[in-house]
């Protein structure tokens, strides 16, 4: 009986502490032993394994998108079951001082049933406590269950509010950098004139703030990292990597774009990327295939030169770009490998179209007007 009471009390304390750290505590938790941590490690690995059964990429991506919301619901269920079991063990250890409506002998399952109805504040009345200790436990569990439900009700809007704010800038990036976003396309689309090139600084300033919000919200609520974007070719990781690519190019040297804002955005964006990799215990890994091989760098330079925003060339510029890429690409690749997300290319494929140009009924051709919007031509956006 004493052992059951100790186990029950420990289960309750562990679950309450886990819920406090996950929902209420607004900072990263660095303890290695965490119930929530092991829950997500175990469930995500199994979910990823099942996703490999899907041959079509879209169906696989759709299946992966279910994990974030379902895992959150599952975690709340695990917490609730843990506390119900813990209080049931305390009731059983105290001698099961309960009255049943039918008068039949009761077992541990009666304690479990009593604990469940009390935790969810149902108040059915078919099983009632009849000793002072049992009444005290019932009152404590009822208050705990009520508080737990209140915290959960407040937690879900916070999660979805942070998700919505994250996705707004990702969606806006569609028309500015392509789908998926690429650094070369972003700079090309802002190369019309001096005002357009200055707009790159404003864009990077917006993404400096976005990266800071991502760092704050996703460290506090890591489950948000599992929430996938509306379109299969977009993600928070591809957007963050695309912005880091853009900053790396500007810091290497792009005519007409001052580097100061790129330096600030690069710092906070890399900070977010590194800390999120640490959260998921994803050490930096060198990509098996270069994202920007020498041949692709030649193509990228030609694209930017033809657009009017030439990238500085020469051995010193190449070394500078490689040095900057080494600061974030291994972390981006590690997270992409863990989350099963794709990293963006440095420049888009020739037949790539923006998400706004496509629909279930067809595509908007380049260079024509549709519904009052001019589709991008080959030369300019």
160 with 147, same domain?
no
144 with 198, same domain?
no
CA distance 334 to 339: 9
β-strand 373-374 against 127-129: which pairing, if any? Answer: unpaired
CA distance 235 to 246: 17
In a domain, 122, yes or no: yes
Q: Residue range 87-95: average pLDDT?
A: 88
- Render pLDDT for 250-260 as a digit per residue (tens, 0 to 9): 999 998 899 99
Q: Which CATH number do you get for residue 67?
A: 1.10.287.70
Phi/psi-derived region of residue 125, left when phi > 0, alpha when psi is between -120 and 50, beta in every other case: left
The band of 276, judged by pLDDT with boundaries at 50, 70 and 90, is very high
Instruction: List the domain range (segments joined by +) for residue 34.
Output: 2-154
Prior bond to 180 cis, omega within 30? yes
299 with 185, same domain?
yes
Count of structural domains within the chain: 2
Q: What is the pLDDT of residue 98?
A: 79
Q: What is the pLDDT of residue 30?
A: 57
**Residue 306 or 195, more confident:** 306
Is the model's pLDDT at 370 over the cut of 70?
no
Is the model's pLDDT at 101 over the cut of 90?
no
- Render pLDDT for 151-184 as a digit per residue (tens, 0 to 9): 888 888 889 999 999 999 999 998 899 888 999 9
In a domain, 127, yes or no: yes
The band of 26, judged by pLDDT with boundaries at 50, 70 and 90, is low
The band of 24, judged by pLDDT with boundaries at 50, 70 and 90, is confident
Q: How many CB atoms lie within 10 A of CB 26?
A: 10
114 with 141, same domain?
yes
243 with 282, same domain?
yes
CA distance 19 to 29: 12
In a domain, 366, yes or no: no
Cα dist from 363 to 189, 240, 344, 358, 368, whole Å: 20, 27, 22, 4, 11
In a domain, 374, yes or no: no
88 closest CA partner among 29, 155, 141, 156: 141
- Render pLDDT for 183-238 as a digit per residue (tens, 0 to 9): 999 999 988 878 888 889 999 999 999 999 999 999 888 999 999 998 888 999 99
162 with 301, same domain?
yes
In a domain, 279, yes or no: yes
64 with 116, same domain?
yes
**Residue 195 or 292, more confident:** 292
166 with 78, same domain?
no
Query: Across all residues in the chain, what is the average pLDDT?
Result: 86
DSSP annotation string for 140-200: HHHHHHHHHHHHHHHHHHHHHHHHHHHHHHHHHHHHHHTTTT-HHHHHHHT-SSHHHHHHH
In a domain, 31, yes or no: yes
Question: What does pTM read for this prediction?
Answer: 0.85
201 with 345, same domain?
yes
């Amino acid at each position: 009986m004493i052992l059951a009471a100790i186990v029950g009390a420990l289960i309750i304390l562990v679950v309450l502490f886990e819920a406090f750290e996950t929902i209420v505590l607004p900072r990263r938790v660095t303890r290695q032993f965490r119930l929530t941590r092991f829950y997500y490690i175990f469930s995500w690995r199994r979910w990823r394994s099942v996703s490999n059964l899907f041959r079509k990429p879209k169906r696989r991506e759709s299946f992966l998108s279910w994990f974030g919301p379902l895992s959150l619901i599952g975690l709340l269920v695990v917490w609730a079951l843990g506390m119900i079991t813990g209080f049931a063990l305390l009731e059983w250890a105290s001698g099961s001082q309960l009255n049943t409506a039918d008068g039949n002998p009761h077992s541990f399952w009666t304690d479990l049933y009593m604990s469940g109805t009390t935790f969810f504040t149902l108040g059915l009345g078919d099983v009632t406590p009849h000793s002072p200790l049992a009444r005290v436990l019932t009152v404590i569990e009822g208050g705990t269950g009520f508080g737990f439900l209140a915290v959960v009700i407040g937690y879900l809007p916070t999660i979805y509010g942070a998700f919505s704010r994250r996705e707004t800038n990702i969606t806006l990036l569609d028309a500015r950098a392509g789908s998926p976003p690429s650094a070369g396309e972003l700079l090309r689309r802002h190369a019309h004139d001096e005002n357009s090139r200055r707009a790159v600084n404003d864009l990077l300033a917006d993404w400096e703030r976005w990266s800071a919000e991502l760092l704050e919200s996703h460290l506090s609520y890591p489950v948000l990292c599992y929430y996938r974007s509306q379109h299969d070719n977009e993600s928070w990781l591809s957007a963050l990597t695309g912005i880091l690519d853009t900053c790396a190019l500007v810091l290497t040297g792009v005519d007409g774009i001052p580097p100061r804002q790129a330096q600030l955005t690069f710092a906070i964006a890399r900070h977010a990327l590194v800390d999120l990799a640490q959260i998921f215990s994803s050490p930096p890994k060198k990509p098996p295939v270069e994202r920007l091989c020498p041949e692709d760098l030649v193509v990228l330079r030609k694209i930017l030169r033809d657009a009017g925003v030439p990238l500085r060339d020469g051995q010193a510029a190449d070394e500078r770009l490689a040095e900057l890429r080494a600061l974030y690409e291994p972390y981006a690749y590690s997270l992409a490998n863990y989350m099963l997300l794709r990293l963006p290319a440095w420049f888009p494929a020739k037949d790539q179209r923006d998400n706004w140009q496509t629909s279930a009924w067809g595509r908007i051709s380049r260079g024509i007007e549709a519904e009052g919007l001019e589709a991008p031509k080959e030369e300019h956006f």
